[in-house]
Amino acid sequence: MNILRYFFLIPLMVISCGLKAENDTLFVPSVRVGLDMSGFARQFVEPETVTGEVSVDVELQENYFAVLEAGMMAVDVKKETHRYQAGGYFFRLGADFNILGRTPENPNDLVLLSLRYGYGTMDHEAPFIVIPDPFWGNHQTALPSEKYRAHWIEAGMGLKTELFHNIFIGWSLRGRLLVASTKDPAMEPYFIGGYGKSNGNTTLMLHYHVLYRIPLR
């Protein structure tokens, strides 16, 4: 009976090896460079905020990606009672994991789980502030330039699909938790580059990506 059992197992082992070999041929180590388009979209809603961001991800082991994202930000808010200006840069470092199996029809489409550490630094100031007073008259003051730093972690998920040969589009939705920042700043930042609006310790951001993939073999 043991011999018959082996005869049944051999075809299954051959099929399993064949499927594994097929999946292995679908994986090609690669580097992908991308541009985040969400900053351009944000300018239509918040013209006072300008952000630009690029990304690089490397897949040397199937379904595991090392990711670096970096960018800059600038803010210029003009109101009747005040003006606020800021400028700086940020980066995020982390990893993506693909949970979508590769198929011959769509070998490069990805559904990703993401984890990041983020850091942002900027200089911001309020060169013009008017404090209204109906009795003594308006008082004008200013807050000088101050450096602000923030650290956060983020997690989320996203999708990348191959639109044309080695050209990808995608999106990602991430929740962020602010874990450390400049203590007792003279003024709270309007927008933290790479993190978002600073109206709390958590935020949710949606990103849109255009990417180009460079196969390494």
Instruction: Give alpha helix (H) positions in the chain.
Output: 2-26, 38-45
Q: Are residues 148 and 175 in contact, defined by beta-carbon separation less than 8 angstroms?
A: no
Q: What is the mean pLDDT of residues 17-27?
A: 52
What confidence tens digit (pLDDT) does each residue in 155-171 have? 999 999 999 999 999 99
Higher pLDDT, 104 or 173: 173
Domain region containing 81: 29-215
Judge whether 10 lies within some domain: no
* CA–CA gap between residue 179 and residue 149 (Å, rounded): 11
Judge whether 3 lies within some domain: no
pLDDT band at 173 (very low <50, low <70, confident <90, very high): very high
DSSP state of 101: P
> Would you say how long the chain is, in residues?
217
Judge whether 15 lies within some domain: no
pLDDT at 137: 67
Query: Does pLDDT of 11 surpass 60?
Result: no
Judge whether 162 lies within some domain: yes
Mean pLDDT of the chain: 86
Please give the biggest Cα pair distance in the chain.
103
Query: Does pLDDT of 9 surpass 50?
Result: no
Judge whether 183 lies within some domain: yes
* CA–CA gap between residue 180 and residue 72 (Å, rounded): 20
Residues 6 or more apart in contact with residue 167 via CB below 8 angstroms: 210, 211, 212, 213
Least confident of 10-24, 89-103, 120-134, 175-189: 10-24
* CA–CA gap between residue 66 and residue 57 (Å, rounded): 5
Q: How many domains does the chain have?
A: 1
Judge whether 152 lies within some domain: yes
What confidence tens digit (pLDDT) does each residue in 92-141 have? 999 999 999 888 888 889 999 999 999 999 999 999 888 877 777 677 88
Judge whether 59 lies within some domain: yes
Query: Does pLDDT of 148 surpass 80?
Result: yes
pLDDT at 3: 42
Q: Could you tell me which residues are beta bridge partners of residue 151?
A: 119, 180
Taking the model in full, what pTM does it have?
Answer: 0.82
pLDDT at 25: 62
CATH number for the domain that contains residue 144: 2.40.160.20
